[in-house]
Structure 1
Amino acid sequence: MAEGLRAPLAPALHRLLRRAVLDHATAEHRRRFLPLVHVGVPGERETVFAVRLDEPTDHALRTDIVSAMVRRVRRPGPTAMVWLTRPGALEPQDVDLAWLAAARSAYGELALPLVMVVVNRHGWRDPRSGAECRWQRLRPRGGS
């Protein structure tokens, strides 16, 4: 069976992914910024790691980082997801694939189901399945 998200998404997951995009769109206004790895539940609890190009990492270190982030935010309720916010289009980039490999390893070691998406100001994309959702003008909803 193929990995990743498939339509139709559960309404609760769709709301969480929309929240991740909305939070990023409202918080980050620069054209150039560091990619950020987020682990947690959008709008509730999360921990963030800045991906610095001048501090290279290897697969093992990225896996350890994701594992530590999951342990930091793990609580009863929805499983912590991974989202990578970065500039540019949603088409796959090397940084997406490097952190996807680490997230797969970390979640596999923790025996947790993995939800991982790449987020920009206009939408999200699952780097495994290619599933995505884009908005022209994303605005807060009542109760979001």
Structure 2
Amino acid sequence: MRPGIVEPVPRPLQVRLRRAVLEHATNERRRTFAPVLHLGTPGGVVATFCAEPNEGPLDLALRTEVVHALWRRSRAGTHDRPAGNAQTLAWLARPGDLTETRDDDLAWHAAVRAARGELGRYLPFVVVNRRAWRDPVTGAGRTWQRLRDRRETDRPSPA
């Protein structure tokens, strides 16, 4: 299995990661919120899990079960390709600076890594905020000053 996202990042993966950041920036307006784990295809079917802080800490086994459940939910009704679905990825959306790796980032990374080993699938994992994505293990990432939806800018202007 691949260790994580390394440079140069393949173009199809770059597009999906950019879409994950854009969706987070568009949909999450609060400054402070609990981290949310997403699993699926950005711009497509995505399953999410938000661990409320007052519910207590989750250990590796519980987090891995959450990843498995999200995988099943994101795959429901689809026909998985034999070699796995290269479109699927996992990302943790959280507030704050991504240059500092937090315990939660590594805990979810470990769970995704355990689940992908059990599933036998390549499942990239990154942490995102409103302007960036970053692999907490390899350090690969991208940052945007102003992120726009390219689909809207590609439309012809009304005459």
Fold match by TM threshold 0.5: yes
Partner of 2:53 in structure 1?
Answer: 53
Alpha carbons 1:35, 1:85 under 8 Å: kept: yes
Q: Does 1:5 align with 2:5?
A: yes
- Give the conservation status (yes or no) of the 8 Å contact 2:2–2:122: no
Counterpart of 1:82 in structure 2: which amino acid?
Answer: A
* Residue number in structure 1 paired with 2:157: none
1:132 counterpart residue number: 141
Aligned residues: 144
C-alpha deviation, 1:79, in angstroms: 4.5
Structure 2: which amino acid aligns with 1:57?
Answer: L
TM-score when normalising by structure 2: 0.85
2:64 matched to 1:63? Answer: yes
Describe the SS at the equivalent of 1:82. strand
Q: Contact 1:41/1:80 (CA < 8 Å) preserved in 2?
A: yes
In 2, distance between residues paired with 1:118 and 1:38? 10
How many Å separate the matches in 1 of 2:2 and 2:39? 23
- Residues 113-132 of structure 1: CA deviation (Å, up to 9, x unaligned): 12000000011000121101
Shift of 1:108: 0.6
* Corresponding residue for residue 87 of structure 1: 95
For residue 4 of structure 1, report the CA deviation from its aligned partner.
1.0
Q: Distance in 1 between matches of 2:12 and 2:141?
A: 16
Kindly, what percent of the aligned residue pairs are identical? 50
Contact kept? 1:124, 1:132, Cα under 8 Å: yes
Separation (CA, whole Å) in 1 of partners of 2:26 and 2:111:
28
Which of 106, 112, 122 does residue 131 from structure 2 map onto?
122
Q: Where do 5+ consecutive residues of structure 2 fail to align?
A: 155-159
Query: 1:73-112 residue pairs with structure 2 within 5 A?
Result: 73-74=74-75, 75=78, 76=80, 77-90=85-98, 91-112=100-121
> 2: distance between equivalents of 1:121 and 1:52?
20
CA contact (8 A) 1:125 1:132 kept: yes
Distance 1:79 1:27 in 2: 21
CA RMSD after TM alignment: 1.7
Once structures 1 and 2 are overlaid, which stretch shifts more, 68-77 or 42-51?
68-77
**Considering only CA atoms, is the larger Rg found in Structure 1 or Structure 2?**
2
Residues 62-84 of structure 1 show CA distances to partners (whole Å, capped at 9, x for unaligned) of: 10010111122124343421000
